[in-house]
Amino acid sequence: MAAGSTKPGAKPGQKGGLAHRVKTAPKKSEAKTLKRKRGQEDLGKLQTAVDQLDPKSTDIKNFTDLPLCDATATGLRASHFEVLTDVQRAAIPLALKGNDVLGAAKTGSGKTLAFLVPVLEKLYRARWTEYDGLGALIISPTRELAVQIFDVLRKIGRNHYFSAGLVIGGRSLKEEAERLGRMNILVCTPGRMLQHLDQTAGFDVNNLQILVLDEADRIMDMGFQSAVDALVDHLPRTRQTLLFSATQSKRVSDLARLSLKDPEYVSAHEAAASATPTNLQQSYIVTPLAEKLDTLWGFLRTNLKSKIIVFLSSGKQVRFVFESFKRMQPGISLLHLHGRQKQVARMEITSRFSSAKFACLFATDVVARGVDFPAVDWVVQADCPEDADTYIHRVGRTARYESNGRAVLFLEPSEEQGFLKRLEHKKVPIQKVNVREAKKKSIKNELQSYCFQSADLKYLGQKAFISYTRSIHLQKDKEVFKFSELDLDGFAESLGLAGTPQIKFQKGEDIKRLKNASRAAASSGSESDSDGDGPKRKKDQVRTKYEKMAERQNQDVLSSHYRKLLDDADPAAASDDEADFLSVKRVLVDDAALDAAAGSTSAKATTEPRIVKLGATSELVIDSNRREKLLKSKKKLLKYMDKGSKLVFDDEGNAHPVYELQDEDEFALQGPAGELRRKFVDAEAEKVREADVDDKAHAKERRREKRERQKAREREEMEGMEEEDGEGPQLKDADDGEDPLALLRSLPVAGESVDEEEREPPKKKARKWFEDEESGEEGVSRNKMKKGGKRVIEMAAEPDTLEDLEALAAGLLED
């Protein structure tokens, strides 16, 4: 089925412009027309090949067997992708033909390419240019995964001219907003994207051609429900939609929410004996909660020459285990990752772990899904996952594509039976193993001494204890998680704590709801913080004596951070203070109270409060020396005096106040006040709504016109340049003399407002732009720092804001 796949050396057909005008010498224009024709022919051929493609054909084995444009084909080849994986073979042809696709395939089976290739092709065949705005939107549940998808897109899309961006939060909305307008492809997390759709003026998604949800079941589940529904509301209904996950939901309600049209269900491994990769070896260990850390320590000590991910249930668990094991120096480098870390730190840690040969990463479920760390030997689930799907995704971090991997799950005796049943139901083959007694070592005493030495560590231990027990308590699946059967005292002791923290849970807490609440509360960036840190402290919640102790003792940076978290979590207390503050002031107005107060607080020795008349109507209470002094200055008194009121005169020359009150009886006749008010509000709201619709339509029309104009201008420009420049895609290497950031500069940088009308259309070559967040930073273009002649990171001469520094750091780390 090689028909239509473009021959090497063929010109990309993208330049077949619609708005064609003869501008230069006839000879030139002839050449142009010829070339355009050829481009159109290529595009036509490609389209025919796609139309004729049989999606069920068994002949499709390699990427070269697919009707792909030259740019995609060469991009894939250069990235060393040749043979299609099962899911790619099943899904790409259907997606190329414009179908909505629901794709399910095991972890590590190549789902990313299964949607990225159709995305590139769709936009290419639609002759998408930057002036067409957003053409494709790819949604990922976590930032880590979004970054990774973006990297793959950049790799295989290197020969395309599209602009692509990453919208994952972690920096200011404004900075991101400035670069959104011209993006063709965006990879995003749902909450952040929604923020832009709601708040970024001029960001138009009405042209969207294709929507992709990676890890779709996660995005469609409760945690993201409202964000995704609102987001989809913004998108046009006529679009292609692709959903991918290793654990796909076929729920009709989900499909309806996305308004899929006759979706094709592609399940590459439905008939497979197991839901997990065949080259993955899975086992479990039964270890009582009180010995879990001992077992984990023993495991690490016997696997020093490995790359390991250890999944824990919350960010607090992660921090404690990381900090305490670090002190004990296991002999393997330790890293930790959870949702509450700063974005830059998260990126640095993921890239360090990716490139490490031997290392152990303690992580929450932020990296449970989709993230493709190369060559992971072991996935350890020290805390039992909340359900079998999470289990499948976690173990999927190893044994990716064709490599091998091993996974081990720690189960508390009370969890064993219940969870094994869940796994069996999901077709997960797992076998029991025992820890060798000789390798067991209790680290309780060491931890205790570290906790004794360091108040910070002790505090983390307490938090870890609380967050773990709480997470067990809140788990939905009571057949697996049995709170009452846990040995809490033993657990506290095993963390090195001198006593068991007292805990008290409120009834009716629901883990999903709480997780979502904290997600919503922590604004934009934290949507991927699925680390189960749970809710912030409730006001009436019992504080343990350990917490109080820690608040008192830990006077350094770490504890102040925690205290801040606690403080933030208690807005009620703040508002109480405020109420007190206000009521004190108000008491003074009441004369009787004043007298009483004066009588009882004579000890205060202030002047006795009295009331002074100012002008005709105003009065001033004199209750302090400061007020007494006021009386001496007429100028200062002006502030307290009646300013007079504005009057309007009617035709007869009678004065009326500007807002005249209606006669009360007359008003009462019109109906109940509440109803009248509602009517009035409704009427006004209706007016506003109407005006808004008009305004929006008007603005949209203007934007469209502007775009058309720019597009036309750009085409002219392009046609002019083609003659001089030759053609073909320009690689972004710095050594071909091309400035990869040319387009970037044509965009307004912060603080500098460029009218869209005045903006020069970017030059042709610059239209190829795969930029990520970091290199699209504010303060671009002054000093150039060349690294190895390849990458150019541009920054303001002196990075002066924290964001600048972060961006620079992230940029450097990326290499």
Q: Which positions touch ligand ADP (CB under 6 A)? A: 81, 83-85, 88, 105, 107-113, 370, 372, 400-401
Pattern 347-386, binding to Mg ion, x per CB under 5 A?
-----------------------x----------------
Residue nearest to Mg ion (CB): 370
Q: Cβ 138 to Mg ion, closest distance in Å? A: 11
Q: Determine the Cα–Cα distance for residues 197 and 205; give it in Å rounded to an integer.
A: 8
User: What is the smallest separation between the CB atom of 17 and Mg ion, expressed in angstroms?
Assistant: 37
Give the residue with the Cβ less far from Mg ion, 212 or 780.
212
In the bound state with ligand ADP, the residue whose beta carbon lies nearer, of 12 and 108, is 108
Find which of ligand ADP, Mg ion, none residue 341 binds, CB within 5 to 8 Å per kind.
none
From ligand ADP, Mg ion, none, interface partner of 168 (C-beta below 5 to 8 A by class): none
Compare residues 109 and 528 and give the one whose CB is closer to ligand ADP. 109
CB 361 within 8 A of CB 349: yes
**CA nearest 467: which of 394, 535, 389?**
535
Which span (111-119, 619-627, 642-650, 765-773) binds Mg ion, by CB under 5 A?
A: 111-119
Q: Which does 372 bind (CB under 5 to 8 A by kind): ligand ADP, Mg ion, none?
A: ligand ADP
Write the DSSP string, 27-47: HHHHHHHHHHHHHHHHHHHHH
**x/- binding map, residues 700-739, to Mg ion, per CB under 5 A?**
----------------------------------------
> Would you say 218 or 292 has its CB closer to Mg ion?
218
CA-wise closest residue to 551 among 453, 454, 456, 452: 456
Residue pair 723/28 in contact (Cβ under 8 Å)? The answer is yes
Smallest gap from Cβ 775 to ligand ADP, in A, equals: 23
Task: Judge contact between 365 and 530, C-beta under 8 A.
Answer: yes
Amino acid at residue number 274: S
Compute how many other C-beta atoms are within 10 angstroms of the C-beta atom of residue 74: 17
Instruction: Enumerate long-range contacts of 543-552, CB under 8 Å, 24 or more apart.
Output: 544/462, 544/466, 544/501, 544/502, 544/503, 545/502, 546/458, 546/462, 546/497, 546/499, 546/501, 547/462, 547/501, 550/455, 550/458, 550/459, 550/462
How would you class 800 by CB atoms within 10 Å of its CB: exposed for 0-12, middle for 13-18, buried for 19 or more? exposed
Q: Are strands 280-286 and 405-411 parallel, antiparallel or unpaired?
A: parallel
**101 vs 115: CA distance, rounded Å:** 9
Residue 84 interaction partner, one of ligand ADP, Mg ion, none, beta carbon < 5-8 Å per kind? ligand ADP
Query: In the structure encoding, which two tokens stand for residue 607, read together?
Result: 């002047």
| Binding of residue 111 to Mg ion (CB under 5 A) | yes
Choice between 244 and 769, CB closer to Mg ion: 244
- CB 98, CB 240: distance < 8 Å: yes
The minimum distance between CB 571 and ligand ADP, in angstroms, equals 41
Q: Which is nearer to Mg ion, 15 or 393 (CB)?
A: 393
Nearer Cβ to Mg ion (16/370): 370
Q: Report the C-alpha gap between 528 and 518 in whole angstroms.
A: 11
Q: Which is nearer to ligand ADP, 372 or 529 (CB)?
A: 372
Q: Rounded to whole angstroms, how far apart are CA atoms 115 and 119? A: 6
Least distance from C-beta 354 to ligand ADP, angstroms? 11
Q: What part of residues 313-342 is at the interface with Mg ion (CB under 5 A)? A: none
Q: How far is the CB of 359 from ligand ADP (least distance, A)?
A: 18
Choose between 162 and 244: whose C-beta lies nearer to ligand ADP: 244
Cβ of residue 278: shortest distance to Mg ion, in angstroms? 18
Q: Which does 774 bind (CB under 5 to 8 A by kind): Mg ion, ligand ADP, none?
A: none
- Minimum distance between the CB of residue 787 and ligand ADP, rounded to whole angstroms? 25
As measured in angstroms, the least distance from the Cβ of 313 to ligand ADP is: 23
Q: Which does 83 bind (CB under 5 to 8 A by kind): Mg ion, ligand ADP, none?
A: ligand ADP
Q: Where are the beta strands (DSSP E) in 400-460?
A: 405-411, 431-432
Of 109 and 159, the one with the shorter C-beta distance to ligand ADP is: 109
Find the shortest distance in angstroms from Cβ 495 to ligand ADP: 34
As measured in angstroms, the least distance from the Cβ of 374 to ligand ADP is 7
Instruction: Choose from Mg ion, ligand ADP, none: what does 223 bind? Cβ within 5-8 Å by kind.
Output: none
Q: Which C-beta is closer to Mg ion: that of 111 or that of 239?
A: 111
C-alpha 324/C-alpha 327 separation (Å) is: 5
Partner from ligand ADP, Mg ion, none binding residue 263, C-beta < 5-8 Å depending on class:
none
Nearer to Mg ion, 17 or 370 (CB): 370
User: By CB under 5 A, is residue 397 in contact with Mg ion?
Assistant: no
Which residue, chain included where needed, has tokens 């031997």? 358
Residue 501 CA to residue 542 CA, distance in Å, equals 11
740 binds Mg ion (CB under 5 A): no
User: Residues binding Mg ion: what is the number (CB under 5 A)?
Assistant: 2
| CB-nearer residue toward Mg ion: 111 or 422 | 111
Q: Which does 96 bind (CB under 5 to 8 A by kind): ligand ADP, Mg ion, none?
A: none
For residue 369, report the phi and psi dihedrals to the nearest 5 degrees: -115, 130
For Mg ion, the closer of residues 111 and 182 by Cβ is 111
Task: Tell me the closest approach of the beta carbon of residue 104 to ligand ADP, in angstroms.
Answer: 10
**Closest C-alpha among 526, 495, 564 to residue 323:** 495
Question: Which of 120, 622 has the CB closer to ligand ADP?
Answer: 120
Distance in Å, CB of 135 to ligand ADP, minimum: 21
Kindly state whether residue 400 participates in binding Mg ion, applying the rule CB under 5 A. no
Whole-angstrom distance, CA of residue 711 vs CA of residue 716: 9
Strand partners, 103: 244, 266
In sequence order, which residues have a C-beta less than 8 Å from that of residue 163 and are 6 or more positions away? Answer: 130, 182, 183, 184, 185, 743, 767, 769, 770, 771
Task: Report the nearest approach of ligand ADP to the CB of residue 230 (Å).
Answer: 26
Q: Which residues pair with 612 in a beta bridge?
A: 620
400, interface contact from ligand ADP, Mg ion, none, CB < 5-8 Å by kind: ligand ADP
| CB of residue 69 to ligand ADP, shortest distance in Å | 18
Cβ proximity to ligand ADP: between 84 and 137 the closer is 84
CA distance 546 to 451: 13
CB of 814 to ligand ADP, least distance (A): 18
Q: Which residues contact 733 (CB under 8 A, 6 or more apart)?
A: 790
Binding partner selected for residue 313 from ligand ADP, Mg ion, none, CB under the kind-specific 5 to 8 Å limit: none
Q: Which does 195 bind (CB under 5 to 8 A by kind): ligand ADP, Mg ion, none?
A: none
Q: How far is CA 231 from the centre of its chain?
A: 13
Q: Is the Cβ of residue 376 or residue 384 nearer to Mg ion in the bound state?
A: 376
3-class DSSP state for residue 265? strand
Distance CA 519, CA 539 (A): 19
- Phi, psi angles (nearest 5°) of residue 190: -60, -45
Q: In the beta sheet, which residues pair with residue 359?
A: 307
Please provide the DSSP assignment of 95-137 as one string. Answer: HHTT--EEEE--TTS-HHHHHHHHHHHHHHHTT--GGG---EE
Q: How far is the CB of 214 from Mg ion (least distance, A)?
A: 6
What is the contact surface with Mg ion in residues (CB under 5 A)? Answer: 111, 370
